[in-house]
Structure formats: structure tokens, C-alpha cells
């Protein structure tokens, strides 16, 4: 069966959402993945957006979390502070984040490349990412697999992973559980339980360990249970292509 | 509002006349050079862009922004050279790309920045809205957001809860000089209603010393009272009301008009280079001497095309 890397990533991301969970969703692939999960194994999952839109079933795909398309069919329209306070209040199981850079402990940069006050590139900044990573019970990162995006140290830590190791979050006073998965176009990674360093858990079909390592700026650990990433089913591909994103906005 | 001076009364505002409706020009005259502004906007909606264009036309300088994600105000004001410093959590033209004028200004060292998370900066506003001097949070701790400090020397403080001993990050109340808000409709006294999501408008308005609200339509108080659950700001929070149809264009307003995808794409392309942005600024901001001239340039066919479908709301 033919499928694209984006479709494989969307299916892998969808698998992270369990039925009945409350998930905070961002723009792009997570949006597709979340709707796929709702239409397959997790019909009772509640999806909401940091913009304050809760339980949205849009008639057409939105270009962002503030898009009116999400508003025209949702169960609650509120505000950003309310939405993020739900995470601090402990109501949210997981969130999805992107990254300009991610380090071995899952810390994320989305603020600057270069010096903070005179950066080479000024990026958009945290937004709700730091809040989601600080507070949600767990979070999943989706990022293209390129060496410069996986440096040994980020230029700036916008969003906390495990900070400097297993005790990092606790000693900073952070509540949430931290990152559990990093999904890329080459592999799915997790974090080794003792050291909280990133480890490869499954390789996408046709990808070797060496290829993943070559595209990573630090040494990756390898899970003892290393497998191949589960490929999309015919039903999943049908839903992605014909129902969720028929115009190919994100996939 | 949080007023740190102990000798003044909390919540006391200079009483304006009951009819608070002003022209765009008069409303913007309430803003002074050097003011710390907080401006509404979430992605491509709720942005008071007509007021922002007037701020640029009136040549305000050295403004500060205390912002969450108001990409439109930040990018236009950066590109026009009106800003000297910004607090932000995220500026992004959702669906299009980075805010190029803002990014360029920071990269050239023309703009001082202080980063926060969405919840972090809004908590500073919320503390002011509650009339308290700080608020404990569970975000931003352990990251460079806390470690890299530029102009907000007392950005945050780690402290243990006096009841449980749990570690918290405290953030200080911030009271902007002026909140500039775009909403759906208001009456002449300033009772302001909004359809759809509310972003952080409530926190911004209640935190600030002065509140200017532009709305798509000014309506009688009876109309407000028919749907009181839509009221976001009661009149006593609001100092000035300006009626500006299509006041958020090229952003949109739920139940009034969709965001103008074509114009946003054009803006974004023009903003990629300083030279081409100056052309945009001249053509769409400085030359149309008022909002009606601007709408004429956009053209009736486009404005009609953007009108919301009553069923969908966009």
C-alpha cells in the first residue's frame, strides 16, 4: 500500500490519543491526527484549542487554532486564559507541540536562533507551548528530522522537556509529566525511563538506525524493544485523504 | 486594574460622559507617545487594525506592547517604527508564516523584547485585573523565558506556597496605560459584546488604566440587554467607544466577515522586505487619510464577498 511520510506521521500521532482523553491540539498535523483518532479508536476524546474553542467538529479544515471554522460547530467558545487554566487545573491529558529545535531531554526552542537580543532568526515564541509542556500530563512533539533541529543544546529553551535530566522538572517545580513521544518523518522516539534521554522506539519502513542517527545532532539511545512503525491501514488512509483533509492542506 | 499606589482608590476611573462614542481620530488622541499598550487580537480575528492604522497615521512613537499573540498590531507597528519594546508570548501569522516586520526589527536590534508564555503574560494582566500585586503560576519555570531577562527586571520570582510549601513561579501584576480592543458591538455607554471566542480581552481591559473599544456596530442598550450573556465588558470598564465597520480588516470578525485571505497573503508577501513593506504602508495606511478611504481601496466587491454566512458565522 502506498502512503506518504506525512500520512504515516499523522497515523502515529493519532495513536497517541486514547479514547476518553482530553487533548489540546495545535495547527497542522496534530489537527489531522486528532480528527483521525476521533473517527477511529478514540470517539470519546475531547479536543480543544488554546484559543478557547472546546469540542470542535468543524465543517471544513481550519488553518489555525483561531480559525472561525472551528467556531461554527463546537460545544464551548471561551477565551485563551480560560483554556490554558484548564491545563493548570489538571484537566488535560496530553498536548501536541512543534519545535524549531529539540535537545536530548526533549527541551524545545521556538524563540530565537542565535543570541537572544541580536538573534540570527527571531522565531514566533512560546505561545501556549510552554504552558502545555509545563502543565499537561504528557506531551508529544512532531518535528521534521533534520540534524540542525536536533542539536545537543538548544539556542534557547522555550519549553521544558526534562530540563537537565530525571530530576529536572521536579526541582524546577513543574507539575506535568513531560514529553513521551517525538514523531518525525524517519522514526518515533521516546525517552529512556532512567536517564530521560531521547531513544529510538520505532523506525519507519525502509529507514535504518544509521540514517536516523546521521540526521540527529546528538547520540540517540535505542530502545530494547525497537520495532518498525505501524503503517496506516486502508481505512485510516481513506479517512485522511477523502474525509479529513480532502484538499491536501496538511498531508 | 491594579493600582500600586496605596493612597488611591481601587477601581476609580475618571468619569467620562455617559455617551462614550468618539471618532477614530479622537480615540487615538487618548494614546500618548511612550504608552504601554495592550491590543486585542488572536490570529486573524479581533484585531483593532483600523485603530492601529490611525496610531501610525498620527505618528505615535516609543510605544511598548504588552501582548499575548496580537500579531497584526505588533507587525504593523514594528514595520512603521512606532515601537521601542515589546513583551510577547507569540507573534505568528497563523497559516502564513512569521511576523516579518517584527522579526526583522528584533534581528536588527531595533526592538527590545521580553518573552513570556501565553499563560505567563496573561497572568500578569489577570493579577492587575484582580487588583492584586502578583499571582502564582505553574508555568515558565526552569526555562530561558525566566532566565533571560531584558527590561523586565522583576519578571518573575520563585517562592514556596505559605500553606503547602509547593514551589510556584510568581509573576507581578502589570497595568498597561491603554487597552485597545476590537469587539462585535457596544452601546454608547460602552457595554461591549462579542460573538465567538474571547481571546484575553477581558483580562486586557480590566488590567488597563484606559480602555478604547472599537466595534462593528453601536447598538441601543435594549439590544445589549436582550442577550446579556454576550456582554464581555460592562460599561464602567470602558472609556471610549468607536464605531468602525470592518474595523478588523484584513482580519475577520466572527458573524460579521471572514478574514481576507487574499489581502493577508499580499500583506505577508510585501512584509518580507523592508522596501516592499514601505510601499504597503504608504498605499494602505498613510495615503487613505481615514477608514472610509481605506475601505474604498479594498473595494465593495471584496467587502461583500467577505460577509459572513449567517449559518456558518464566517
Residue B51 and residue B26: Cα distance in Å, rounded? Answer: 11
- The set of long-range contacts for A215-221, using a CB threshold of 8 Å and a minimum separation of 24, is A215/A145, A215/A146, A215/A147, A215/A150, A215/A186, A216/A145, A216/A147, A216/A150, A217/A147, A217/A148, A217/A150, A217/A151, A217/A152, A218/A103, A218/A104, A218/A150, A218/A151, A218/A152, A219/A104, A220/A189, A221/A192, A221/A195, A221/A197
CB-based contact A130 B98, cutoff 8 Å:
no
A157: which chain B residues are within 8 Å (Cβ-Cβ)?
A: 142-144
Cα separation of A158 and B212, whole Å? 33
CA-based end-to-end distance of chain B: 34
Contact list in B for residue A52 (CB cut-off 8 A) is 197-199
Is pLDDT at B16 greater than 60 in this prediction? no
Mean pLDDT of all residues in chain B?
A: 95
Measured in whole angstroms, the distance separating CA B102 from the mean position of its chain's CA atoms is 15
Whether the CB-CB separation of A153 and A103 falls below 8 Å is answered with yes
| Cell numbers that stand for B5 in this block | 499606589
| B240 to chain A, closest Cα gap in Å | 23
CATH 3.30.420.40 applies to domain B24-117+175-306: no
- Give the closest-approach CA distance of A107 to chain B in angstroms: 9
- Chain B residues close to A53, C-beta within 8 Å: 197
For residue B311, give the chain A residue with the closest CA: A72
CB contact under 8 A, A173 and B169: yes
Contact status, residue A119 vs residue A113, Cβ threshold 8 Å: yes
| Chain A residue numbers touching B107 (CB-CB < 8 A) | 118-122
- Residues near A241 by Cβ (< 8 Å), separated by ≥ 6? A7, A251
Q: B6 CA to chain A: closest CA distance, Å? A: 28
Give the per-residue pLDDT at B3: 54
Distance CA B235, CA B254 (A): 22
Q: Which residue of B has its CA nearest to A111?
A: B115
pLDDT at B306 over 90: yes
Architecture of domain A5-244: 3-Layer(aba) Sandwich (3.40)
Q: Is A235 a catalytic residue?
A: no
Exposure of B43 by Cβ count < 10 A (0-12 exposed, 13-18 middle, 19+ buried)?
A: buried
Q: How confident is the model at residue B194 (pLDDT cuts 50, 70, 90)?
A: very high
Mean pLDDT of B5-29: 71
pTM, entire model = 0.95
| Least CB–CB distance from B92: residue in A116, A124, A159 | A124
Do the chains contact at A88 and B203, CB–CB below 8 Å?
A: no
Residue A224 to chain B, least CA–CA distance (Å): 31
Listed by number, the residues of chain B in 145-164 with a beta carbon closer than 8 Å to a beta carbon of chain A are: 145, 148, 150, 158
Instruction: Look at B158 and A173 and tell me if their CB atoms are within 8 Å.
Output: yes
pLDDT at B279: 98
Q: Nearest CB to A117: which of B116, B137, B150?
A: B150
Which of A122, A171, A172 has the most B C-beta neighbours within 10 Å, making it the best mutation to test the interface with B?
A: A122
Chain B residues in contact with A69 (beta carbon < 8 A): 314
What is the rounded CA–CA span in Å between residue B274 and residue A230?
A: 47
Classified as helix, coil or strand, B70 is: coil
Mean per-residue pLDDT, B54-68 = 98
- Within 8 A by CB and 6+ apart from B156, the residues are B120, B140, B146, B169, B170, B171, B172
The pLDDT value given to residue A28: 87
Q: For chains A and B, count residue pairs whose Cβ atoms are closer than 8 Å.
A: 190
What the block records as the C-alpha cell of A50 is: 488554546
Give the ipTM: 0.96
> Which of B304, B276, B284 has its CA nearest to residue B49?
B284
Using a CB-CB distance cutoff of 8 angstroms, which residues of chain B are in contact with residue A117? 109, 112-113, 150
Annotated domain spans of chain B = 24-117+175-306
CB proximity B85 to A under 8 Å: no
- Residue in A68, A111, A130 nearest the CB of B140: A130
Q: Does B37 touch chain A (CB under 8 A)?
A: no
Please write the tens of the pLDDT for every residue from B219-277: 999 999 999 999 999 999 999 999 999 999 999 999 999 999 999 999 999 999 999 99
pLDDT < 70: residue spans in chain A = none
pLDDT of residue B12: 46
Predicted confidence (pLDDT) per residue in B94-116, tens digit: 999 999 999 999 999 999 999 99
A65: which chain B residues are within 8 Å (Cβ-Cβ)? Answer: 43, 94
Determine contact: B229 vs chain A, CB below 8 A: no
- With cell 460602552, the residue in question is B190
Cα gap B122→B203, rounded to integer Å = 7
Q: What is the pLDDT of residues B132-163, one digit of tens each?
A: 999 999 999 999 999 999 999 999 999 999 99
- Each domain of chain A, given as residue ranges in start order, spans 5-244
Q: Is residue B165 packed enough to be buried (19+ CB in 10 Å), middle (13-18) or exposed (0-12)?
A: exposed
- pLDDT tens, A143-181? 999 999 999 999 999 999 999 999 999 999 999 899 999
Residues A111, B139: C-beta atoms closer than 8 Å: no
CB nearest B196 (choices: A71, A81, A174): A71
Amino acid at each position: 500500500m502506498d502512503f506518504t511520510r506525512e500520512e504515516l506521521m499523522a497515523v502515529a500521532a493519532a495513536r497517541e490519543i486514547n479514547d476518553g482523553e482530553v487533548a489540546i491540539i495545535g495547527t497542522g498535523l496534530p489537527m489531522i491526527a486528532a480528527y483521525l483518532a476521533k473517527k477511529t479508536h478514540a470517539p470519546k476524546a475531547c479536543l480543544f484549542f488554546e484559543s478557547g474553542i472546546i469540542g470542535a467538529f468543524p465543517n471544513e479544515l481550519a488553518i489555525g487554532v483561531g480559525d472561525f471554522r472551528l467556531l461554527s460547530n463546537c460545544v464551548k467558545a471561551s477565551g485563551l486564559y480560560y483554556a490554558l487554566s484548564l491545563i493548570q487545573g489538571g484537566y488535560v491529558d496530553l498536548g501536541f507541540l512543534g519545535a524549531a529545535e529539540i535537545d536530548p531531554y526533549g527541551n524545545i526552542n521556538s524563540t530565537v536562533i542565535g543570541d537572544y537580543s541580536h538573534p540570527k532568526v527571531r522565531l514566533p515564541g512560546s505561545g501556549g507551548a510552554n504552558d502545555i509542556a509545563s502543565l499537561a500530563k504528557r506531551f508529544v512533539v512532531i518535528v521534521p528530522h533534520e540534524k540542525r533541529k536536533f542539536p545537543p543544546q538548544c539556542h534557547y529553551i522555550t519549553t521544558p522537556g526534562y530540563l537537565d535530566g530525571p530530576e529536572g522538572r521536579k526541582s524546577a517545580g513543574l507539575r506535568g509529566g513531560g514529553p513521551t513521544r517525538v514523531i518525525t518523518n524517519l522514526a518515533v522516539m521516546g525517552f529512556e525511563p532512567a536517564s530521560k534521554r531521547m531513544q529510538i522506539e520505532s523506525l519507519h519502513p525502509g529507514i535504518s538506525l544509521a540514517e536516523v542517527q546521521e540526521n540527529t545532532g546528538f547520540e540517540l539511545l535505542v530502545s530494547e524493544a525497537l520495532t518498525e512503525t505501524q503503517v496506516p491501514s486502508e481505512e485510516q488512509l481513506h479517512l485522511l485523504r477523502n474525509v479529513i483533509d480532502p484538499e491536501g492542506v496538511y498531508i | 486594574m491594579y493600582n500600586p499606589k496605596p493612597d488611591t482608590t481601587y477601581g476609580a476611573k475618571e468619569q467620562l460622559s455617559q455617551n462614550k462614542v468618539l471618532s477614530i481620530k479622537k480615540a487615538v488622541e487618548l494614546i500618548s507617545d511612550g504608552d504601554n499598550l495592550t491590543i486585542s487580537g488572536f490570529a486573524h480575528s479581533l484585531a483593532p487594525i483600523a485603530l492601529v492604522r490611525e496610531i501610525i497615521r498620527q505618528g505615535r512613537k516609543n510605544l511598548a506592547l504588552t501582548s499575548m499573540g496580537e500579531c497584526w498590531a505588533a507587525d504593523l507597528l514594528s514595520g512603521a517604527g512606532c515601537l521601542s519594546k515589546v513583551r510577547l508570548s507569540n507573534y505568528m501569522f497563523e497559516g502564513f508564516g512569521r511576523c516579518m516586520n517584527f522579526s526583522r526589527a528584533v534581528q536588527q536590534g531595533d526592538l527590545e523584547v521580553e518573552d513570556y508564555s501565553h499563560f505567563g503574560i496573561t497572568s500578569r494582566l489577570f493579577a492587575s485585573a484582580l487588583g492584586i500585586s502578583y499571582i502564582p503560576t505553574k508555568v515558565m519555570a526552569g526555562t530561558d523565558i525566566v532566565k533571560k531577562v531584558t527590561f523586565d527586571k522583576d519578571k518573575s520570582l520563585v517562592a514556596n506556597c505559605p500553606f503547602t510549601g509547593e514551589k510556584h513561579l510568581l509573576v507581578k501584576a502589570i497595568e498597561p496605560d491603554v487597552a485597545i480592543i476590537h469587539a462585535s458591538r457596544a452601546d454608547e455607554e460602552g457595554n461591549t459584546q462579542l460573538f465567538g471566542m474571547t481571546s484575553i480581552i477581558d483580562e486586557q481591559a480590566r488590567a488597563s488604566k484606559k480602555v478604547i473599544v472599537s466595534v462593528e456596530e453601536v447598538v441601543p442598550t435594549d439590544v445589549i440587554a436582550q442577550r446579556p450573556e454576550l456582554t464581555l465588558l460592562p460599561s464602567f470598564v470602558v472609556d471610549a467607544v468607536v464605531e468602525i465597520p470592518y474595523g478588523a480588516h484584513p482580519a475577520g470578525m466572527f458573524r460579521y466577515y471572514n478574514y481576507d485571505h487574499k489581502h493577508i497573503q499580499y500583506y505577508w508577501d510585501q512584509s518580507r522586505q523592508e522596501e516592499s513593506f514601505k510601499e504597503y504602508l504608504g498605499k494602505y495606511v498613510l495615503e487613505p487619510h481615514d477608514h472610509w478611504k481605506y475601505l474604498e481601496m479594498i473595494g465593495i466587491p471584496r467587502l461583500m464577498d467577505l460577509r459572513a454566512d449567517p449559518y456558518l458565522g464566517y
